[in-house]
Amino acid sequence: MSELLIFICQFSVVFLLGVQSQMVRDSNCIGAAIGSLLIGYSQFYVFAIIGGLTAGDLFTAQGMAFILAGPLAIITSIKTHPHITKLFKREVKK
């Protein structure tokens, strides 16, 4: 099991949850709906990939990749949300 793959999948889930939360707050229905679809897709892969891990694996490389992805992803989603919002507004105006 690749630590990088675990990190990327978990990062995706948390990042998308952070962005979707802000889309909901801003009443951006299209952005929130797209985010919801992407969250479901990424969650499917997270569960498939980490299905064999147990609580005893928490401090292994795989466990740390899973845990550390969350804080990094939520900070990234907060910082990138203004840019993502501009993209949605630009596409709607066209």
For the stretch 48-63, pLDDT in tens is 877 777 888 888 898 8
Q: Which residues of 10-45 are buried (b: 16+ CB within 10 A; e: fewer)?
A: bbbbbbbbbbbbbbeeeebeebbebbeebbeebbeb
pLDDT of residue 62: 86
List the one residue out of 49, 33, 44, 42 whose CA is nearest residue 15. 42
d(CA 63, CA 66): 5
The pTM for the full model equals 0.74
CA-CA-CA-CA dihedral for 81, 67, 7, 86, to nearest 10: 0
Query: Residue 45 has what pLDDT?
Result: 80
pLDDT of 25 strictly over 70: yes
pLDDT in tens, 34-91: 888 888 888 888 888 777 778 888 888 988 988 899 999 999 998 998 888 887 776 5
